[in-house]
Amino acid sequence: MATIERDLPKTDKGLQAYLANVRPPGGREWISLGAGLTICLEPSGAKTFQARLRRQGESNPRRVRIGSFPAVSLADARRKLAEMKSVAKEGRDPALEARRARAGVAKLRTLTDLIGEYLRRRDGQIAFKTHKIERDLLVGVLSPVLGDRLLSDLAPMDFGKAVADYAGRLKREGRSNGTNANKLLAVARRMFKQARGWGIVEGADPTAGLTKPAKESPRDRILFDGKVLVGANASVNELGRLVAALAADPSPVPATRETRLAIRLALILGLRALETSSLEWRAVDIEGAAPSVTITTSKTSAGLRTLPLPQSAIEIFVELRSAAASKAEFVFPSDDGAKRRKHLHPESLSRAFARCCERLGIEGASTHDLRRTCLSGLIELGHESVAERIAGHVPRHVLGRHYDRAARLEPMRAALEAWAVAISDAAARARATPSF
């Protein structure tokens, strides 16, 4: 039957009472409630709110179900009708979006919606530090500029301008040469790639084809020892000065004993700051016939590896073990009351290393340079064949990626022992000519 007009109450309160008491008709009827809202009365007594909508580009209106009365009140029906009209005005299908909502599919309209969903899904799936960097860039930088834009309206020119403006601001403020803007572009690009993979966004990627606004130069800093790793000045022995200072008692550098041992381990084994600070006692074997340590937390899955221990590393673990609590979980536990992690925070290790370098006059070095120094030393000593395995990198060739599953523990042990001897020699030469 067609939609019919009745003498209805003039207020929504009166209409609510009228609908609650109206009798079922002999056949299906629609009552117009104004502004495109109707209610379908069934002979069975069911009452269903419906919207009469015409999407942009359509010539004939159609009915879209809103909900059943009284579970959906008249006020709720009017509110949902307004939302549907907004969706239809944009050319989208409100019925399809309603079905997606009932199926649990996220409704993402603006860039802010996408950022929130992306960060929610990434939380716990990536390292805390990485998640914080992404949140700071997306929420702190991108959202204030483009957050209220509809995803369907975003274009490469929008992201290009946002990234370029951020790079310009960084340069004006002297915070960097704009390289953080490159990170912003990379994070935005990763967000759209992941979102498309999850099936929560459609259409073209508005970050595709954009170029980095700032030129980046890879770090190549290593600590020279004047014998294995020789710089422009062959007399420079930064490596020896550092190790001698870390091992001295009392030490001239501002760091705790445990932190100094952590720095030495990172240098001897070529570990990342995260790998060093999160070492677990259950993964350390210093009593067996072949002492080793297994890296259980790393930046990548390839970084989860087992390394044989040279004698100097064994001595460090023995010293740490003698001072550790009987039920200690981590080799380098956090201070009592720490909230973020149960072990030494990688950033705390990095800051401590920076203070040590400042005290010794070693300029421009970071904890990752310890790893680069170790791997460079291994290659200089002729152990390039196992340097990649020690580093925990994905092999670059097909054989290594798909077929080579050899442990290589003994070749790695020989390489790390040779490097440990080189470190000790550099420290001995530094002690002979103290400069701190």
Every domain range in the chain assigned CATH 1.10.150 = 111-198
Residue 215: pLDDT above 70? Answer: yes
So what's the pLDDT on residue 6?
A: 66
Q: Which range among 63-77, 94-108, 275-289 has the greatest average pLDDT?
A: 275-289
So what's the pLDDT on residue 10?
A: 80
Question: pLDDT higher for 159 or 57?
Answer: 159
So what's the pLDDT on residue 279?
A: 96
The CA-CA-CA angle for residues 87, 93, 94, to 5°, reads 60
Bridging pattern class, strands 29-34 and 37-41: antiparallel
* Confidence grade of residue 395 (pLDDT, cut at 50, 70, 90): confident
Residue 217: pLDDT above 80? Answer: no
Least confident piece of the model among 57-61, 259-263, 288-292: 57-61
* Confidence grade of residue 202 (pLDDT, cut at 50, 70, 90): confident
Neighbours of 215 (CB within 10 A): 9
Question: What span, in angstroms and rounded, lies between the C-alpha atoms of 317 and 281?
Answer: 9
* Confidence grade of residue 204 (pLDDT, cut at 50, 70, 90): confident
| Mean pLDDT (the chain, rounded) | 87
Q: How would CATH label the architecture of 3-102?
A: 2-Layer Sandwich (3.30)
Which CATH number applies to 111-198: 3.30.70, 3.30.420, 1.10.10, 1.10.150? 1.10.150
Every domain range in the chain assigned CATH 1.10.443.10 = 238-432
Tokens 């290589």, located at residue: 408
Radius of gyration of the chain (CA): 33
- Find how far residue 266's CA is from the centre of its chain: 24
* Confidence grade of residue 125 (pLDDT, cut at 50, 70, 90): confident
So what's the pLDDT on residue 258?
A: 95
Q: How would CATH label the architecture of 238-432?
A: Orthogonal Bundle (1.10)
Every domain range in the chain assigned CATH 3.30.160.390 = 3-102
> Which residue from 264, 220, 226, 266 is spatially nearest to 242, judged by alpha carbons?
264
Neighbours of 155 (CB within 10 A): 10
* Confidence grade of residue 320 (pLDDT, cut at 50, 70, 90): very high
